[in-house]
Amino acid sequence: MHAQLFGIENCDQCRKARQWLRTRGVSVQFHDLRRDGLSAQMLERWLTRVPWDSLLNRRGQSWRKLEDSQRREVVDRDSLIELLLAQPLLVKRPVLEASDRLLIGFSEAVYASAFPEQQEPSGAQAPGS
């Protein structure tokens, strides 16, 4: 299986997601939002699958640096797209696209349920087996 992961290199959650996917044999192409940017087409594609407000990282430093007036302007899908195109680091990370799946953020439990067919490498057997 092949997946595309969107995030930034120095994000702990992105690193955890990449490692989790790699150890389960999922081929991952990494798209660095800082270096490679974000397009309106990507956002439109994602927003057909998730609620608009799930893409916005309101906990990060980039959000806290915004003026209050800028924060108040994010009220719908269109205003979110405008903001994320101007400041891609406001995307909640990582975003994982894999066939029919789109996952926002990293959670081992959610990834495990989304990739049940992916097994640990054969050398990672439980003790006593």
Q: pLDDT tens digits, residue range 28-52?
A: 999 999 999 999 999 999 999 999 9
- Assess if residue 98 is contained within a domain: yes
CA distance linking residue 119 with residue 103, whole number of Å? 19
What domain count does the chain have?
Answer: 1
Half-sphere exposure of 122 toward its Cβ, with a 13 Å CA cutoff? Answer: 0
pLDDT in the model for residue 118: 55
Is the pLDDT at 60 greater than 50? The verdict is: yes
User: What is the average pLDDT score of the chain?
Assistant: 90
- Assess if residue 18 is contained within a domain: yes
- Assess if residue 127 is contained within a domain: no
- Assess if residue 56 is contained within a domain: yes
Look at residue 57 and give its three-state secondary structure.
coil
* CATH classification at residue 110: 3.40.30.10
- Assess if residue 57 is contained within a domain: yes
Terminal Cα distance for the chain, rounded:
27
CA distance linking residue 86 with residue 107, whole number of Å? 27
- Assess if residue 61 is contained within a domain: yes
Q: Which domain holds residue 50?
A: 2-114
CA distance linking residue 90 with residue 28, whole number of Å? 22
Show which residues are catalytic. 11
Confidence of residue 115 (pLDDT cuts 50, 70, 90): confident
